[in-house]
Structure 1
Amino acid sequence: MACAVTLKAPSRLHFGLVDLGGVTRRAFGGAGCFLQHPSTLIRFSPLQTNLCIGEGTPDHFRADLDVALAALQTRFPDAIGEVEILETPDSHTGLGSKTSAVLGCLKSVVLGNALCVDDDELKRMSRRGGASGVGVHGFFEGGMIVDCGHSERPHGPWLPSGAYDIEALPVKAVRLPMPPSWKVHLMAPRGSIVSGETERAFFEEATPLAREEVLQTLAAIWHGIVPAVLGRDLELFRESLRDLSRCGLKEKELQAQPNSRHLLTRIDDIGKLAAGMSSMGPLVYAVSESSSSAAEPLEELCKELDAIYIGTTTFANSGYTVT
C-alpha cells in the first residue's frame, strides 16, 4: 500500500566542467558541492489510482518529469500516486534545480510505493548527467563530488548536458565532505539566464577547448580544489577557484556574465573569501570561515552593484532527506 512522502533535496554549486576538447581519454567531467539552502521540496501523495504530476509543479519541469516518470512506470506498471514540487530554487541560475527536482520526484514515488530499485537505475531514468555527474551523484550523497565524465566523446559539437541521451552514467571519482567550519554566501547579480538554444549556441562557440585550457582546469581541480577540501585550507580553495575562473570553459562562462565577473573581482578585493560563479551563472558564491563577519561587507557590495544578497547557508554533507 502506498504512503505519503515529503522529500527535501539540497541545491548544488557547480565549480566547472573539465574536458570539452577531446584532450584526455574522458569527455566532460566536473566538480561541485551541495548546499543546505535553498532546497527543493517535493510531496508524494498516494491519493491517485495512477501516477501523475501535481498541479502546483512549475510548468518548466513537466516535460522532463513526464519522461522520467514514464520510464519509472514502464519498469513498475503498478506504481500510483501524485508527485508535486512545492518549493524549488529558480531554474538556470546555477543551483541545479532541475536535477534535484527530477531525481527527487522519482525517489519520492519509489519510497511512497515501496519499490525495489537502486540509485543508479534512478539516475539513468532521470536522463540527467549528460556532461557532469555532480548533480546525479550528489543528490544521493551530498558533499563535494568530482567526476570523470564519460568514456565516449560526442559525435559532433560539444553541447550542454541536456543535449545528450545518456546510457552510461558519468564516473564518480571522489566524494568528500565539505569542511563544517566553512559557510557559504550566495549572491545574484543581474545577468542573463542561459538555457535552451542560447546555451547550445554558447557551447558551440566556446568549444572545443584547447589542450592547455583543459590541462589548466584539471590542475585547478585535482591539485587545487581537492587538496584544499581535504586539508580544510580556505586560502588554497580561494586560489584554486580563482585559477579555475581564468581558464577553460569557466573563463568563457564568466565572459558571458559580465556582472558576475565584476562582482567576483570586487569580492576578491575584500580578501579571505573563496569565490566563484556556479555553472553558467549568474549566481555567485563566496565561502568564508564560520567565524568570519563577511556577510556585512558582501551585503554592502551587493547594494553598490545592484545585486541581490540572497543569504548565508552551510554545505550539505548528505543527500536528500525524507520526512
Structure 2
Amino acid sequence: MKIISPCRVHMGLIDMNGSVGRIDGGIGATLDYPNCEIVGKESNEIEIEFSSSISNKTAEEDLKALYNRMYTSANNILNKIGQTGISLKLKEVIPAHTGLGSGTQVSLSTGKLTSSIYGYNLDAYSIAQLTGRGGTSGIGVSGFEYGGFIVDGGHTFGRNAEKIDYKPSSASKNVKTAPLLFRHNFDWDVVLTIPKIPVEEQVADKKEVDIFKKFCPVPEIDVNRFCRLVLMKMMPAIIENNMKSFGECINEIQGLGFKGAEVQLQKSTLKNLLIHLQNISYSGLSSFGPTIYSLGDKKEIIEYSNEFFDREGLEGDIIISKGNNTGYKLI
C-alpha cells in the first residue's frame, strides 16, 4: 500500500493576542508538490528505510530526525491498534526546515498508512493526537485530511483552558487539533521560491519557542485587521475565484501581527526578495520560511526569482505547484 500527502503553505496565525479567550487560528492552503510518499506492508517489527534519492541528498542529522519521527509515529499507532510491526519505505519527502509542513506530513502519513495496512480507518485528527501534531496550527492536519484552502479556529486560552501560554506546535503537547472553520477548493497555481538557508539561520525548536515568548501577545489592533481581512476579503475571494482580492490580503498580512514578526526576523536578503516579488505578484512567507509562495504570472515570477538568486549569489529551488483539493491519497 502507498500513501501520498500534500505540502502546505502556512499563510499566518490569526490571533496571537488572546484577549477574547482564544489564540492561534490559522489560514493556509495545500499544494500537490512537493509531497510525501511512503510505501508499506505488514511486518513483525518496525522497519524503516529511505529511497536512495532521499539518502543521498539529505544531511545525516535530518535523516536521523526523519527516522525518529517515522518510528515514533508508527509505534504510537501500532500500540493503539494492537499490532507489533510495520515495514515502511520513504520514497519522497517535503524538504525539511522550509516552512512547507514536512514534519506534520511525515508523521500523519506514517500513521495513516500504518493503520490502513491493518484495516483501521483512523482520521487525521485521531492520528494527530497520537503523533503529537497540530498543537498550534490546524492547517497541516486538516489539509492532510481534506486539502484546499483552510481556516482553523485555534484553541481556548487562559486558566483551565486548552493552552495557558503562547507556544509553537513543537512545544504544544496534548492539545487537540484546532477545529476546521472553513474549507474551499484552492485552484490557483503557486510558484514556490525556496532559497537555501544555513542551518544556524533556520527557525526551529528552542528558537521558535523563544520567538513566541518575545512577540506574543501581539497588538489587538493587528488581530482585528487580520480577522477582518480573512472573513470579509480572503474567504469571499476564494469562493468568487478572485485572485486579485485574495492576493491583496496576502501582501498586506506580511506586515500584520505574528506574521509580521515572522517576516521581520528574516535576513535582509530574504526580506528584499519578498518585497521585490510583491512588486510583480502576490507573495507571502510560508510559516517561518524561507519558502516564499507567489500567485500571479508564473513566467515573470520564475524569471525574477532566478535573477535575484544570480544577483545575490544564492542557491535554491523554484517550483511550480498547484492547489491540492483532496488531501492524502491511499493507493
Question: Normalising by structure 1, what TM-score?
Answer: 0.89
Q: Quick check: 1:265 aligned with 2:260?
A: no
Q: Quick check: 1:20–1:208 contact (8 Å CA) kept in 2?
A: yes
Residue 59 of structure 2: aligned partner: none
Instruction: Return the alpha-carbon distance in structure 2 between the equivalents of residues 85 and 237 of structure 1.
Output: 35
Displacement of 1:297 in angstroms is 3.4
Quick one: structure 1 residues 94 and 167, their matched pair in 2 at CA, closer, same or farther if it must change by over 3 Å? Answer: closer
Q: What SS class does the counterpart of residue 54 from structure 1 fall into?
A: strand
Instruction: Return the alpha-carbon distance in structure 2 between the equivalents of residues 185 and 55 of structure 1.
Output: 28
Residue 245 of structure 1: aligned partner: 254
Q: What SS class does the counterpart of residue 233 from structure 2 fall into?
A: helix
Quick one: structure 1 residues 176 and 289, their matched pair in 2 at CA, closer, same or farther if it must change by over 3 Å? Answer: farther
1:102 to 97, 104, 107: 107
- The letter for the 2-side match of 1:140 is E
Instruction: Return the alpha-carbon distance in structure 2 between the equivalents of residues 126 and 239 of structure 1.
Output: 36
Residue 82 of structure 1: aligned partner: 87
Q: What SS class does the counterpart of residue 53 from structure 1 fall into?
A: strand
Instruction: Return the alpha-carbon distance in structure 1 between the equivalents of residues 121 and 84 of structure 2.
Output: 11
Instruction: Return the alpha-carbon distance in structure 2 between the equivalents of residues 309 and 52 of structure 1.
Output: 32
| Range with greater deviation from structure 2 (113-122 or 203-212) | 113-122
| Range with greater deviation from structure 2 (64-73 or 123-132) | 64-73
Displacement of 1:190 in angstroms is 4.9
1:283 to 285, 291, 294: 291
Residue 31 of structure 1: aligned partner: 27
Displacement of 1:298 in angstroms is 3.5
Displacement of 1:92 in angstroms is 1.9
Instruction: Return the alpha-carbon distance in structure 2 between the equivalents of residues 155 and 148 of structure 1.
Output: 13
Q: Quick check: 1:238–1:274 contact (8 Å CA) kept in 2?
A: yes
Displacement of 1:241 in angstroms is 0.8
- The letter for the 1-side match of 2:20 is T
Instruction: Return the alpha-carbon distance in structure 1 between the equivalents of residues 48 and 127 of structure 2.
Output: 17
Q: What SS class does the counterpart of residue 216 from structure 1 fall into?
A: helix
Residue 44 of structure 2: aligned partner: 49
Question: Which consecutive residues of structure 2, in runs of 5 or more, have no partner in the other structure?
Answer: 56-62
Residue 181 of structure 2: aligned partner: 173
Instruction: Return the alpha-carbon distance in structure 2 between the equivalents of residues 212 and 10 of structure 1.
Output: 34
Mapping of residues 193-212 of structure 1, within 5 Å: 193-212=202-221
Q: What SS class does the counterpart of residue 27 from structure 1 fall into?
A: strand
Displacement of 1:173 in angstroms is 0.1
- The letter for the 2-side match of 1:189 is P
Displacement of 1:156 in angstroms is 5.2
| Range with greater deviation from structure 2 (103-112 or 114-123) | 114-123
Q: Quick check: 2:73–2:130 contact (8 Å CA) kept in 1?
A: yes
- The letter for the 1-side match of 2:16 is L
Q: Deviations over 1:24-53 (max 9, x none)?
A: 33221101001111111112132x212343
Instruction: Return the alpha-carbon distance in structure 2 between the equivalents of residues 147 and 115 of structure 1.
Output: 26
Displacement of 1:72 in angstroms is 1.5
Instruction: Return the alpha-carbon distance in structure 1 between the equivalents of residues 181 and 76 of structure 2.
Output: 27
1:146 to 144, 151, 154: 151
Q: Quick check: 1:318 aligned with 2:326?
A: yes
Displacement of 1:178 in angstroms is 0.8
- The letter for the 2-side match of 1:51 is I
Q: Quick check: 1:183–1:289 contact (8 Å CA) kept in 2?
A: no
Question: Which consecutive residues of structure 1, in runs of 5 or more, have no partner in the other structure?
Answer: none
Instruction: Return the alpha-carbon distance in structure 2 between the equivalents of residues 318 and 289 of structure 1.
Output: 25
Q: Quick check: 1:69 aligned with 2:74?
A: yes
Residue 186 of structure 1: aligned partner: 192
| Range with greater deviation from structure 2 (83-92 or 273-282) | 83-92
Question: Normalising by structure 2, what TM-score?
Answer: 0.87
**Cα RMSD between the aligned structures?**
2.1
Residue 264 of structure 2: aligned partner: 255
Q: Quick check: 1:296 aligned with 2:294?
A: no
Q: Quick check: 1:126 aligned with 2:135?
A: no
Count of aligned pairs: 313
- The letter for the 1-side match of 2:14 is V
Quick one: structure 1 residues 217 and 100, their matched pair in 2 at CA, closer, same or farther if it must change by over 3 Å? Answer: same
Instruction: Return the alpha-carbon distance in structure 1 between the equivalents of residues 109 and 8 of structure 2.
Output: 14
Quick one: structure 1 residues 322 and 116, their matched pair in 2 at CA, closer, same or farther if it must change by over 3 Å? Answer: closer
Q: What SS class does the counterpart of residue 221 from structure 1 fall into?
A: helix
Q: Quick check: 1:263–1:305 contact (8 Å CA) kept in 2?
A: no
